[in-house]
């Protein structure tokens, strides 16, 4: 007997945090909802983190996922930007943890490889594959498409993770 699991994928960002909820029943995936949490770049960091956290708490309560998949922070040359992105990721993880979701983390290259087959795929390729795998999704932004990709990645890898 194959269980159905509801998963929220999160693509954290200080200005735009993408989210996507899917259901996985074995290899069958279906779209539930997706969107973007936006905060003003002019707002103080603490306010932006609160917006992300509070919005994700509401989304989790509304859609009732049991598991969360969050994209890991991409480390770039700008250490300050990487650190700030880490704050956004922490706000998202805290929301999922407060709702007692099982949380999995995936590197951006692993997500791209799971969705497109290549770890260095372009955003457009990821979005195109998300649309093929979830034809009813129609993500409103690249961030929402990336979040759906994270959720799909988790749906593919979760059985290996839970077997450990």
| DSSP E strand boundaries for the chain | 4-11, 16-25, 28-38, 67-71, 102-106
Q: Splitting the chain (164 residues) into consecutive groups of 10 residues, what average pLDDT does each group show?
A: 91 96 94 97 96 98 98 77 88 97 95 85 87 92 95 88 49
pLDDT of residue 75: 66
Are 69 and 12 contacting, i.e. CB atoms less than 8 angstroms apart?
Answer: no
CA torsion 35→41→44→49, rounded to 10°? 20
Are 45 and 52 contacting, i.e. CB atoms less than 8 angstroms apart?
Answer: no
Rounded to 5 degrees, φ, ψ at 141 are: -155, 165
Count other Cβ atoms within 10 Å, centred on residue 111.
28
**Which residues does residue 23 pair with via DSSP β-bridges, in sequence order?**
6, 30
pLDDT of residue 129: 92
**Domains of the chain, each with CATH number or no CATH:** 4-162 (3.30.420.10)
pLDDT of residue 140: 87
d(CA 12, CA 9): 10
Q: Is the dihedral of CA 4, 104, 134, 160 positive or negative?
A: negative
List active site positions: 11, 71, 143
């Amino acid at each position: 007997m194959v269980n159905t699991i509801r998963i929220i994928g999160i693509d954290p960002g200080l200005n735009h945090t993408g989210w996507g909820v899917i259901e996985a029943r074995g290899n069958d995936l279906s779209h539930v909802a997706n969107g973007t949490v936006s905060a003003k770049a002019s707002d103080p960091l603490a306010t932006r983190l609160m917006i992300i956290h509070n919005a994700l708490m509401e989304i989790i309560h509304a859609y009732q996922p049991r598991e969360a998949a969050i994209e890991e922070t991409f480390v770039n040359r700008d250490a300050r930007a990487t650190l700030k992105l880490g704050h956004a990721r922490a706000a998202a993880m805290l929301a999922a943890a407060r709702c007692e979701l099982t949380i999995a983390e995936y590197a951006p290259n692993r997500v791209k490889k799971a969705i497109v087959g290549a770890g260095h795929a372009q955003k457009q390729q990821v979005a195109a594959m998300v649309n093929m795998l979830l034809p009813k999704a129609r993500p409103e932004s690249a961030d929402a498409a990336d979040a759906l990709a994270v959720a799909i990645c988790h749906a593919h890898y979760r059985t290996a993770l839970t077997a450990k």
